[in-house]
Amino acid sequence: MSDIIRLLPDNVANQIAAGEVVQRPASVVKELLENAVDAGATDIKLVIKDAGKTLIQVVDDGEGMSPGDARMAFERHATSKIQTAEDLFNLRTNGFRGEALASIAAISHVHLKTRTSENELGTEIKINGGEILTQQPVSCTKGSVFEVKNLFYNIPARRNFLKSNSIETRHIIDAFQRISFTYPKISFSMVHNENEVFKLPKGKSKQWTSNSRQRIVAIMGKATNEKLVPITEETDILKIKGFVTKPSFAKKKKGEQFFFVNNRFIKSPYLHHAVMNAYEGLLQPGYHPSYFLFLEVPSDSVDVNIHPTKTEVKFDNDRDLYAIIRSTIKHSLGQYNVAPVLDFNRDADLDTPYAFKDKEYISAPGIEVDQNYNPFQTENQYQGARRHEKNSQWEALYLSDHPEKELIENITVDLDNISQELFDESEATTLYKTFQVQSKYIASSIKSGMVLIDQNAAHQRIIYEEYLAKITMEGLGHQQLLFPLRVSINKVDIPVVKQIQQDLKSAGFHISTIEDEALILNAIPTTISEKEVINILESLIDNFKNEVPESSFSQIDMITKSLAKSLAIKSGTTLNNKEQENILNSLFSCKEPNYSPFGKKTFITLSLDDLEEKFNS
């Protein structure tokens, strides 16, 4: 048998590596921005076209590269960050494996211009599909300019798997924000299709907290400033700093939760649980606080090399980190009077009012007494007459031969009403028709056995079909507001709102003005209250960012789904028998009762055979 194992060609190996490192345009943005930061840049500019599919350009004023380094940077596993295996556990930079540029060059057209401060001329390199076309001297400014064009041009299957431009742009913005949060002393800007999306100036304060707060507000919007509670703690195994938001500003949607370990963005469900535990008792069910937490741990206590994108890490003392994060956040929420604090040694009602705090002498209030007041002289005749009337009635009882008989005869009882209340046939017949299980499911008996209904999924289906019919036919009813309602939103969400503004109007949201970071509404749907508007609009925008429809009808469909999800009865809500029956009857009146608008089963049936099998097994 002949040998069948052979080495892969370099271009094929690079394309395979690209499949792990470069998943979408946002992956390229992340790698190039991190390289610019590692190069010591103080000003970084990102330019993209068509959500990065046509062009991704990163311009920085960092150290630049020599001609030899510029050429070597595109070789696989070429890096200046590590030399031995031990270096992997003492990393202070973002990139270190030397795979990114080689992988990017293998699946795109790359154009690089770079120059160091020591050289008068820079270096220009052009690479197509991993093959170097030219390398020559060029006149350019200090730093580097990376251009990545026609991503996945030689792997059309991968290109076809990319999402719509709106979704890919959202991922690029996420990558841009994560880097920008981490380095508030570096100025960042982002331009998409010649429109400036972000312009973030560098922080000029000597305090990291001030610079970081300024950067968070610049990215998330001015309304974020009042929501932030600073967090800081320093121990031997962990230094933690950053911000969490006040419980009153928690949101139903996730997505504004950021963990950074040694200036690297990570995802950690375990540490997220520590944050949620610190908010125990302060949040409504289903709500999530925003947080921006920067952790610094010893390099040898964390492994960042377990995932190609380096967003997952392992700690050797994660239990200790959990406890420190939880207690630090809990302490800060109490310190800034965000969380309630029990103090049994003090009565808050006895505190000196703020206006009298600094006064040396407080005079006692004067008391005036009317010495001539006699309450017995003001009793009116009506009270006397009532007393005489009552006495007469009691006297009559004792003058009668059979007082108890007269007393009983004067008492009338409506037996019909009692019978109707206690033995109402309609109530008796429906009392056991349905019942709730754990305030989550509705159980009911049917001919073949029993049915279990998911009350949340079922109510979503009911609202969805009802609202979809109204919106498409006549529009959902709206209520005019006496005073316009101002809703603060992230400025990167403004294009989404403009795209669906007309459909929002059909759903009852009448937007009169769109500002940079806010919407002004003069009417809202009749079925919701003003306090629900912010959460519902945020949910709508979030759904569109993750799945942008192509047609007008699908936009209406998405809005209707979002309204159904926001307004449906939640799991854990206790329902009376009448409400349970209404859901049951309304569900089976729907056109498609089997599934919710999001494809989840609304009910399951258990036949008598199934039940008997359970008992006999």
Cα 318 → chain centroid: 24
| The predicted structure's pLDDT at residue 92 | 58
| The predicted structure's pLDDT at residue 184 | 94
| The predicted structure's pLDDT at residue 376 | 64
| The predicted structure's pLDDT at residue 572 | 85
Q: Tell me the mean pLDDT in the region 53-74.
A: 92
Task: With beta carbons less than 8 A apart as the criterion, state whether 266 and 260 touch.
Answer: yes
Residue with the bigger pLDDT between 306 and 590: it is 590
| The predicted structure's pLDDT at residue 428 | 38
The CATH class of 441-603 is alpha beta
Q: Is the pLDDT of residue 114 over 90?
A: yes
Q: Is the pLDDT of residue 387 over 70?
A: no
Give me the chain's average pLDDT, please.
80
Cα 357 → chain centroid: 42
Domain boundary assignment for the chain: 10-200, 208-335, 441-603
Q: Tell me the mean pLDDT in the region 84-111.
A: 71
| The predicted structure's pLDDT at residue 399 | 52
Least confident window among 82-86, 429-433, 599-603: 429-433
Q: Is the pLDDT of residue 141 over 80?
A: yes
Residue 177 pLDDT class (50, 70, 90 cuts):
very high
Q: Tell me the mean pLDDT in the region 321-340.
A: 83
> What are 207's two structure tokens?
């305090």
| The predicted structure's pLDDT at residue 407 | 46
CA pair distance 73, 98, nearest whole angstrom? 7
Q: Is the pLDDT of residue 312 over 80?
A: no
Residue with the bigger pLDDT between 365 and 56: it is 56
Confidence (pTM): 0.70
| The predicted structure's pLDDT at residue 424 | 44
| The predicted structure's pLDDT at residue 386 | 53
What single-letter DSSP state applies at residue 592? S
Strands across the sheet containing 187-192: 131-138, 122-128, 109-115, 143-149, 55-60, 43-49, 187-192, 195-200
Q: Is the pLDDT of residue 16 over 70?
A: no
CB count within 10 Å of CB 519 equals 24
Cβ contacts of residue 294 below 8 Å, gap of 6+? Answer: 182, 212, 240, 241, 242, 260, 263
Residue 359 pLDDT class (50, 70, 90 cuts):
low
| The predicted structure's pLDDT at residue 555 | 74
Residue 473's H or E segment, with its range, is helix 455-473
Residue 268 pLDDT class (50, 70, 90 cuts):
confident
> What are 343's two structure tokens?
């103090």
| The predicted structure's pLDDT at residue 198 | 92
| The predicted structure's pLDDT at residue 551 | 47
Residues in the chain: 617
Q: Tell me the mean pLDDT in the region 282-300.
A: 87
Q: Tell me the mean pLDDT in the region 531-542.
A: 81
Q: Using one digit for the tens of pLDDT, what is the confidence trace for 602-614? A: 999 888 888 888 8
Residue type, 338: V
Residue 488's H or E segment, with its range, is strand 478-488
The CATH class of 10-200 is alpha beta
Nearest 5°: the CA angle 318, 319, 323 is 115
Residue 308 pLDDT class (50, 70, 90 cuts):
low
Task: With beta carbons less than 8 A apart as the criterion, state whether 211 and 184 touch.
Answer: yes
| The predicted structure's pLDDT at residue 94 | 63
The CATH class of 208-335 is alpha beta
CA pair distance 385, 560, nearest whole angstrom? 68
| The predicted structure's pLDDT at residue 458 | 93
Nearest 5°: the CA angle 181, 185, 190 is 60
Least confident window among 316-325, 379-388, 561-570: 379-388
Q: Tell me the mean pLDDT in the region 433-451.
A: 86
Q: Tell me the mean pLDDT in the region 577-600.
A: 90
Q: Using one digit for the tens of pLDDT, what is the confidence trace for 422-432? A: 444 444 344 44
Nearest 5°: the CA angle 579, 591, 478 is 65
* Gyration radius from the chain CA atoms: 35
Q: What φ, ψ does residue 128 adopt, rounded to 5°?
A: -120, 120
| The predicted structure's pLDDT at residue 375 | 67
